[in-house]
Amino acid sequence: MLYLLKLHPEITIKSRSVRQQMTRCLTANIRNTLRRLDDRVRVKDQWDAIRVRLPEGLDDDTTAAIEDSLTRIPGIQQVLATEEVRFESLEQAAEHIVPLWSPVIAGHSFRVQAKRRGEHDFTSADMERYLGGRLLEATPNARVDLKHPEVVVPVELNDRRLQVIRARWKGLGGYPLGVQGQALALMSGGFDSPVAAWKMIRRGVKTHFLFFNLGGPAHEAGVREVSHHLWERYGVSHKVKFISVPFDGVVGEILRTIPDGLMGVVLKRLMIRAANRMAQRLRIPALVTGEAIAQVSSQTLANLAVIDDVSERPILRPVLTDDKQDIIDRARQIDTARIAESMPEYCGVISRRPHNKAPLDDVLAAERDFDDRVLDNAIEAAVIKRIDDVLEREPAPAEVSMVQTPEELTSLDTPCIIDIRRADEREAAPLALPDAAAQVPLIEIPFYELQDRAAELDTDRHYLLYCDQGVMSRMQALHLADRGLHHFGVYQHRPDA
């Protein structure tokens, strides 16, 4: 089987030298991608297309996997599955084309689109008219429409070689991966950041992944999955890095030292500071985020300017002007939405009264109270892995107990409830235990202090963590279990229990 890969139109309008360089890069990317499926595939670049020839006898599953991969390689506009035969005459060409396309055009409007190179005694228009007439004879319920056909029948003739196109698929478009340099994408696991990273990959940027871990191993597992998915489907021709930075200590320091309305902006600034240092270490010249104007309070134009003020590198925002629904639709198209929908919402730093226009002077004044050693420690603890290693088999995540009723609570040996909410949340909605559990001790440790203080707690007790929605408490319990502290569970209060 032979495939002709048409270049993205923006490649074809480049100067001759740039086009040749991009075509060589795309050819190498195709080889690297298909080698994983079968190393006998042959790839050859030409001026107007790239030819991919499969070995004889290749099984159907591998052939289908190759065809699917070709539609996801940046730089390819169209994939044409072809059969090459020697051209003798228009009559002989019709013998190949009519049986193939007659069932396709039945009941539809169509036109023949011929491309011809070389010396012949007929024009491309002559070829289109002849083949169109033969198709109409064989398919009376079809009709010709030269302006808005439902089906286009493509035919290519190069000198005495006729390319009979059996199928065609739309490619990803964009530029060959790697021709536009490198960037470091900040990944959260939601809808926005994977779409932003995908857009950079499609534009030819070798994109690495940076994750700030705010919610423990369960949070990181989801972000690893979505990052690996993007790389494997759209960027597998290049090796990139996945960097994980533990940021729970940074969150705790923010909650201790930063005024309520500035917390979100300061968190983003600290992430950008850390991202710049990781990018410097890896020699990556640009950052990428999934921020969109006005989606949340930290993403107003004024606050984005305050966030950008701390960066030493350009911050690229591919979804900056996209509507949320458009982002979600794109996430479904690239198959990252299913991961985003299963990710727990992390709500560790949410200001009750966030500033839409945080004054830079106020932000700088607030940051003076922040202990920069906490950020330094987080960066020092960063883990850098190859993206193809992030899904290596690891121990199954620990399970944590969930208690909901007074009977379940009192049945435990020496239970103790820890309210891990912030002080203002506790004051706004105090936790009232049911009468049957009134004797169960209740202590207060904010979640941002829990990881440091957990080791000091009595190992003979069964501690149950409480927060309003149960999300933060489960994340914290899983994080503690990951550290080997298995005497922590979750108390999910049910008022009707």
Domains detected in the chain: 2-170 (3.30.2130.30), 182-389 (3.40.50.620), 402-491 (3.40.250.10)
DSSP state of 484: T
Supply φ then ψ for residue 99, to 5 degrees: -60, -30
Best CA proximity match to 208, nearest among 242, 174, 246, 179: 242
* pLDDT tens readout for residues 395-412: 555 677 888 777 888 788
pLDDT of residue 170: 94
pLDDT of residue 482: 78
Token output for 306: 């305050």
pLDDT of residue 407: 80
Taken in order 134, 135, 141, 143, the sign of the CA dihedral is negative
pLDDT of residue 411: 84
CA angle, 193 then 198 then 203, to 5°:
130
The Cα–Cα gap between 198 and 193 comes to: 9
Pick the catalytic residue: 25, 347, 416, 467? Answer: 467
**Does 467 participate in catalysis according to the annotation?**
yes
Supply φ then ψ for residue 55, to 5 degrees: -70, 155
Residue 207 burial (C-beta neighbours within 10 Å; 0-12, 13-18, 19+): buried
Residues belonging to the binding site for ATP are 186-187, 268, 290, 299
Supply φ then ψ for residue 366, to 5 degrees: -65, -35
pLDDT of residue 344: 63
pLDDT of residue 398: 61
Half-sphere exposure (Cβ direction) of 185: Cα atoms closer than 13 Å: 34
Regions of the chain where pLDDT drops below 50: none
Residues belonging to the binding site are 186-187, 268, 290, 299
pLDDT of residue 217: 77
The Cα–Cα gap between 74 and 243 comes to: 24
Stated as kind and residue range, the H or E segment containing 333 is helix 324-333
Residue 383, strand partner residues: 244
